[in-house]
Structure 1
Amino acid sequence: MASIFGHVALGVTLGKLLLPDPRYLRYWLLAAACAFLPDIDVVGFRFQVPYASLWGHRGLTHSLFAAAMVASASVALVRLFHRQAGPPPGRLWVLVFLATASHGVLDAMTTGGLGVAFFSPFRLERYFFGFNPIEASPTGIRQFVGSTVWRVLQSEAIWVALPCALLLTVQRLFSRQTAVAR
């Protein structure tokens, strides 16, 4: 899996790109949390849930179906509790869906694990992309030390943080240019 740092960086970036107004900062943070949320399935290791099962790591919680459910629930909760202050529901749904789904995308670009069950619960096959530049992060905090942490963070700096920074820079330049043109 990619580390929490890579997932959160991509979630915040998606939030800033899709809801650029700073008053939506809380939704950037929601996107960051949703980008990491699929790894809740690692608790299954504690209960001997088989890795390759529906409920195993990179199974149902990493699927596009789960991303759609998280997005739908998030929009419903925001509409219930923040009627006037929330962003447009459709845009929020897209943000939360993309942030949650981005987790599986990053994991499918890593060098380890069993792949991602993108189409779970309908199909249990797991997938990797043909391009795997992100060093797989250990699943336990105790293993996330020493040279391992540096290899993971270096690969994420190149393949996650740098593209995020470039996208945010382009957005900033475009918004400045648009403001000057007005």
Structure 2
Amino acid sequence: MEKKALTQAPIHDLIADRWSPRSFDPEFILGDEEVHSLMEAARWAPSCRGEQPWKFVLFSKSDATIFSQALNCLSISNQDWAMDAALLIITTTNRYYRHNDQENGYAHYDLGAASENICLQATSMGLAAHQMGGFSKDDARELAQVPENYDILSVIAIGRPLDLDQTREELKEREGAARNRLPLEEIYSVNKF
């Protein structure tokens, strides 16, 4: 399904086309080449001092047992639709710089940039990505064996989006709703806040 952003100024189509659907093709499985492309996009995201503090833990639907365990880390409302995604990604970032073990105050920012690269790469490949905050960090940490010095920020569901006419009835209203953003003049100012 296409839901191009209605912008107040021109932006690149890749950005305008990116959105977060909840309706994925339940039969679609991502291949290794597609997964590598998504991770390569993350690898080239900007980061403070080139630190690349992120680490992504991937759970593919091709391994139904572990995928189900990752799915169980999500809130019930997210499980309902994410079960049809092809890939779940737990996003993590190291709180400390590698070169001096000091706290990296930009680690979360850097992970956000890498995660957005994944989302844009997915869009460019005809896929869709939906980032989620509704999940248990404790369960995700235990399942993925994430070290304590890494913060877990989100889970990203990736898959092939369905057209609205193929979408399950209970998701159609949300999927078909217009995209909504604050007006441009409310998100920036010049010279003072």
Q: What TM-score, normalized to structure 2?
A: 0.34
- Looking at secondary structure, tell me which structure has more strand per residue: 2
Higher relative contact order (CA 8 A, sep 6+): 2
TM-score, normalized by length of structure 1? 0.36
